[in-house]
Amino acid sequence: MKILGISAFYHDSAAALISDGEIVAAAQEERFTRKKHDSGFPRQAVDFCLRQAGTPSPASIAWSSTINRS
């Protein structure tokens, strides 16, 4: 099973992909946007994780997200 974790809309948005209990990829959005503490949706980090896993379609992944709007 592949699980894509997303942290968004708070400082340091990020994504991580786990496959069968092993970390496949993880990235913070600021590495792609060059905006320190980027709080937007981590679209590029998600794309990076999917490419690293060789998963072209997000439809085959169980999704998990954390949204903190404090």
Catalytic choice (1, 4, 10, 11): 11
Instruction: Tell me whether residue 37 is one of the annotated catalytic residues.
Output: no
Triad 19, 25, 34: Cα angle to 5° = 155
Q: Is the dihedral of CA 62, 33, 41, 57 positive or negative?
A: negative
Annotated active-site positions, please?
Answer: 11
